[in-house]
Amino acid sequence: MNMQASALAHPNIAFIKYWGLEDEARRIPANGSISMNIGPLATETTVSFDPALMEDVLILNSQVVSGQALIRVQHFMDRIRRMAGSTLHARITSENNFPVGAGLASSAAGFAALALAGTAALDLDLSERELSALARFGSGSACRSIPGGFVEWLTDPLTGETYAQSIAPADHWDLADCIAILSEAHKPIGSEAGMRRADTSPLQESRVLDTDRRLGVCRRAILERDFAALAAVTELDSNMMHAVMMTSEPPLYYWQPDSLAVMLAVKSWQAEGLPVTFTLDAGPNVHVITTRPLMEKVIRRLRQIPAVLDVLSAEPAGPAHLLKQDSPT
């Protein structure tokens, strides 16, 4: 048996957001979602099972991790151990190539890489669908970082099976994601705690009821490379999720005044005819989506906005994959 494996996965940015759980224990989302993997941002994770270890050890960006973050990973490793019938513990080292302080969700890439490396290290040979279904137990959005390119997370209404699959490969559409970093602070309420409040908002029900329509528009916009349609549904969906957040009990305000300044700048560039749109996750940073030929121009403009601390650029990226081992163990 190998006992050690390394994997790489990219984060993803959702055009149609996942916010709320229908079944928390089985991690079945309240609604389907569509995202794009983004590279070169990536997480590389190595899992080494070692009979000498009494518990799993996690080293994230060269720092030993303890507390809640470690417990979350240990529970995920328990799931992998159960699948493999193993009682061994592992040393897990994980590195992000993007700034940790950037307020970007690293849990999607992290749990996608961990699902792949952890199962491979125990010689479990899972299908892409099985890996995606597994990754969601680490973090819901992680299931969308297993397949490549443009990805949809769906739930089979009959079986309740929930997993993500590609709609189109990364090279299908040369989009770019220019991420305007406005704050490097850690978010006060993470998405796991935040989305537990989703059902307290009177707007969540209508948001969920309208999701199939938005998913249909988004899927078609991607397949037909229709930027205007993608822009309209992406902004609507982001605004709907943030409306739910702001009307939850107690309310969640992830936007900062500077986030709105960037959103309004994007609206004015749109009025000039530029293909640009925005979307925000559970934090103040603004993902400005454009086409690859306009990426440099959009980055230049974003950097001129005083509140923008930095701009990261990313492009559609491929699936999670195993990395070759340097030396056999």
Distance between CA atoms of residues 17 and 141, nearest Å? 9
Q: Is 31 in the site for ligand DP6 (CB under 6 A)?
A: no
> Taking the CA atoms of the chain, what radius of gyration do you get in angstroms?
19
**Overall residue count recorded for the chain in this entry:** 329
Q: 216, 230 in Cβ contact below 8 A?
A: no
Give the count of beta carbons closer than 10 Å to the beta carbon of residue 44: 17
Stated as kind and residue range, the H or E segment containing 205 is: helix 204-209
How many residues make contact with ligand DP6 (CB under 6 A)? Answer: 14
Q: Is 211 in the site for ligand DP6 (CB under 6 A)?
A: no
Give the count of beta carbons closer than 10 Å to the beta carbon of residue 2: 13
Structure tokens at 198: 């989703």
CB of 40 to ligand DP6, least distance (A): 19
Q: Is 10 in the site for ligand DP6 (CB under 6 A)?
A: no
Burial class (CB in 10 A: 0-12, 13-18, 19+), 192: middle
Q: Is 238 in the site for ligand DP6 (CB under 6 A)?
A: no
Residue type for position 149: G
Contact window for ligand DP6 (CB under 6 A) among 10-18, 126-134, 159-167, 320-328: 10-18
CB of 324 to ligand DP6, least distance (A): 29
> Binding mask 78-107 vs ligand DP6 (x if CB under 6 A, - otherwise)?
---------------------------x-x
Between residues 122 and 245, which has the closer beta carbon with respect to ligand DP6? 245
Distance between CA atoms of residues 325 and 47, nearest Å? 11
Distance between CA atoms of residues 203 and 246, nearest Å? 10
CB of 306 to ligand DP6, least distance (A): 26
Q: Is 177 in the site for ligand DP6 (CB under 6 A)?
A: no
Distance between CA atoms of residues 235 and 220, nearest Å? 16
Q: Is 214 in the site for ligand DP6 (CB under 6 A)?
A: no
Q: Is 33 in the site for ligand DP6 (CB under 6 A)?
A: yes
Between residues 111 and 227, which has the closer beta carbon with respect to ligand DP6? 111
CB of 282 to ligand DP6, least distance (A): 4
Between residues 95 and 192, which has the closer beta carbon with respect to ligand DP6? 192
Q: Sign of the CA dihedral 243, 133, 78, 327?
A: negative
Between residues 12 and 48, which has the closer beta carbon with respect to ligand DP6? 12
Chosen residue from 4, 86, 141, 166 binding ligand DP6 by CB under 6 A: 141
Q: Is 14 in the site for ligand DP6 (CB under 6 A)?
A: yes
Distance between CA atoms of residues 11 and 205, nearest Å? 28
Residues contributing to the site for ligand DP6 (CB under 6 A) = 14, 17-19, 33, 105, 107, 139-141, 191-192, 281-282
